[in-house]
Every structure is written in C-alpha cells, then in structure tokens.
Amino acid sequence: MARRLSTRKRPRREDKQLKERKKIESEVFDRQSMLVLGSFLNRGILKSVDYPIASGKEAVVFRATAGDKFEKDEEYVAVKIYRIETSDFVRMQDYIRGDPRFLGVKRAKRQIVYAWTRKEFRNLEICADAGVPAPTQYVFKDNVLLMQFLGEEGIPDSLLIDVGSDNPEKDCETLLGYVKKLYEKEFVHADISEFNVMMHGDVPYLIDVGQGVLLDHPKADEFLRRDVENILRYFRKYDVERNAEDVLKEVKASV
C-alpha cells in the first residue's frame, strides 16, 4: 500500500516531459507553429531559426538564416510568430471587424490570430506599394510571417525609442511623410510610435503594421490622429514644434 502511494506521488517521467513541453509551448509557441516553422526549414526556405530578437505578449520575432530555396538575395529573415494563447484577440477583432478584406473570418481565437497574420502581410504590401520603408513581406502561413530582416551584419537594427534621433527635424518630417503616403493609399498604420519605428542606418522604417486599417474602418480617423499626435509628441522633446491640426489637414488634402 505504502509503495503504491509513493509511486503515485512521484511525478512520472512522461508527465514531466509533457509539463516541460507545455511550458515551452506556452512560453514560445504552440505545436502548430512549430510544424509551420518545420515546414519552412524542410523546404529549405529557412536554414535555421537563430534567436529571438524580441518577445512580447502577442508575438515573438526571431532572426532566422535563409535557406538554399529562399529566393531573395538576403542572408537573414525575420520570423514573426503570433502567439495563439496570449494574443489579445478581443482587441484584434476590433481592428478586423469593419475591414471588408476580412469578412467572414470565424470568431475562433486561432482563426482570428491567423487573419491578423494575413492582415500584417497585406499591410506590409501596402507599405511597399506606397513606397514607405517597412520590412519587405516574404510569405506567411497560419500565424507565422516571414519578412525582411532589418539589421546590419546580422545584428538587428535598434528602435527609435532606444537610439533616439540624430536629426529630429528631418526624422519627424519623414515619418509624417510616411503617414501621408499611406493615407494616399487609403491606409492608416494605427500604431505609430517610437516603439514601432526601427532606425535602419539613418532611415526610419515602420514595423508592426498588423493593426493598420483601411480608411473605411470606423475608427480610421481616430487612429490617424493618434499616429500624428504620437509622432509630434515624440519629437516635441527635441523641440520640433508642429501643429497637429495643420499636419492632419495636410495629410487629408492629398485624398
């Protein structure tokens, strides 16, 4: 009897392994994401997944090394994996609802995160189309997005929040110019801030475009104002003074 009790108490090896696996899955990504990564590796699109560049609540971004079958002349690839479990899919729905490109997306959590990934890919296409610097989109599957790695000699570029601006007048103007160019394509990024701008040399790049919306989204105007105000707020500490209303007028004059 005593023996049976003690064996029952001792965690079984499989349990331990399962727990470990679950821990990795919840901390990094789920099995399905691993299978998708595996398929990119098997097909030679990626040679290796090297290390996480950043890990947040919604997504983990890795540097990966391009494989033999990768068609662009780039050594590295950025791999963004959206988390299924911890993503704020209620918030995501807010940005997907009202977007005619995503009618009929089922409400299931996984489906919403997949739609979000697809949306980020499409939004990167719009940036490219508008001639606004953002990572070139490569391919996506499920919740995994492959895009241009922004960095130099394998080292990822820094965010504006971390390096600051060497030329605030110019960088402020450049970013407002991006807002305008995107608006001309009937698109609003909807999360521009010093946290979502990477400095590639001296060129600011917009990243994290998943929440971007088309102008017919009910909150497009509100998001546009917030983007402009965020840019102006950031550069105000460098004594760059621009009036938000004037900027908004200028942006909208183009459409």
By CB under 6 A, name the binding residues for ligand ATP. Answer: 53-54, 56-59, 61, 78, 80, 135, 147-151, 156, 159, 196, 207-208
Gyration radius of the chain over CA positions: 21
* Burial label, 50 (beta-carbon count in 10 A; 0-12, 13-18, 19+): middle
Q: Which does 18 bind (CB under 5 to 8 A by kind): ligand ATP, Mg ion, none?
A: none
How many distinct helices (H) and strands (E) make up the chain?
A: 9, 12
Q: Mask 154-193, x = binds Mg ion (CB under 5 A)?
A: ----------------------------------------
Of all residues in the shown chain, the one whose CB is closest to Mg ion is 208
**For Mg ion, which stretch binds (CB under 5 A), given 61-69, 93-101, 134-142, 202-210?**
202-210
Tokens read off for 241: 């003074």
| In the complex, minimum distance from the CB of residue 85 to ligand ATP, in angstroms, rounded to a whole number | 13
Q: Where are the alpha helices (DSSP H) in the chain?
A: 2-9, 13-27, 31-42, 89-96, 109-130, 160-163, 168-184, 220-236, 244-253
Q: Which does 57 bind (CB under 5 to 8 A by kind): ligand ATP, Mg ion, none?
A: ligand ATP
Q: Which does 64 bind (CB under 5 to 8 A by kind): ligand ATP, Mg ion, none?
A: none
Q: Which residue number, 132 or 247, has a Cβ lying nearer to ligand ATP?
A: 132
Give the length of the chain: 255
DSSP class of residue 203? E
Catalytic (active-site) positions: 191, 208
| In the complex, minimum distance from the CB of residue 149 to ligand ATP, in angstroms, rounded to a whole number | 5
Main-chain dihedrals φ then ψ at residue 71, nearest 5 degrees: -85, -15
Q: Which residue number, 197 or 224, has a Cβ lying nearer to Mg ion?
A: 197
**For Mg ion, which stretch binds (CB under 5 A), given 37-45, 134-142, 208-216, 230-238?**
208-216
| Contact present, 141 and 36 (Cβ < 8 Å) | yes
Nearest one of 42, 48, 109, 116 to 76, comparing CA atoms: 48
Q: Which of 208, 224, 227, 251 binds Mg ion (CB under 5 A)?
A: 208
Q: Which residue number, 157 or 251, has a Cβ lying nearer to ligand ATP?
A: 157
Cα 190 to Cα 120: distance, rounded to the nearest angstrom: 12
Please give the residue ranges that form the binding site for Mg ion (CB under 5 A).
196, 208
